[in-house]
């Protein structure tokens, strides 16, 4: 299993607006292509302007195909354009992880 771990940092005071925009416009088209995330969470302690989401894929090829389809979806493109207009995102970090044999991921 391949996990895509994404951490985003918003400009101070904008995380609520950004997450509301995602819920309204981005969630449905993203879930249509990627399924539900393993986790979608905002920071409880530390930087209050951060949130993460983790997506599970069967392989790098599965990830590539699903994300390519998502980036062809007009609803996803509309969301990304509105997100850019909002200007809340300051930083994005992505890492790919594999599960370990002694704790295999179970859907």
Output the domain CATH number for residue 7.
3.30.70.100
- The answer to whether residue 101 sits within a structural domain is no
78 is in which domain, residue-wise? 2-96
- The answer to whether residue 107 sits within a structural domain is no
Please tell me the total count of domains within the chain.
Answer: 1
- The answer to whether residue 103 sits within a structural domain is no
Mean pLDDT across the stretch 55-60? 96
pTM of the model: 0.91
- The answer to whether residue 85 sits within a structural domain is yes
Q: What are phi and psi of 21, to 5 degrees?
A: -60, -45
* Residue pLDDT, tens place only, 10-26: 999 999 999 999 999 99
- The answer to whether residue 106 sits within a structural domain is no
Query: 16-51: string of b/e by CB count within 10 Å (b at 16+)?
Result: eebbebbeebbbebbeebbeebeebeeeeeeeebbb
- The answer to whether residue 104 sits within a structural domain is no
Residue 70 has pLDDT above 90, yes or no: yes
In this predicted structure, what is the pLDDT of residue 96?
A: 97
């Amino acid at each position: 299993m391949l996990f895509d771990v994404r951490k985003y940092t918003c400009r101070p005071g904008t995380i609520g607006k950004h997450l509301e925009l995602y819920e309204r416009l981005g969630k449905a088209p993203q879930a249509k292509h990627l399924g539900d995330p393993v986790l979608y969470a905002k920071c409880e302690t530390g930087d209050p302007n951060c949130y993460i989401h983790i997506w599970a894929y069967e392989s790098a090829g599965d990830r590539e195909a699903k994300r390519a389809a998502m980036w062809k979806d007009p609803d996803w493109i509309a969301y990304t354009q509105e997100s850019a207009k909002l200007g809340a995102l300051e930083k994005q970090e992505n890492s790919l992880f594999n599960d370990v044999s002694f704790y295999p991921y179970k859907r």
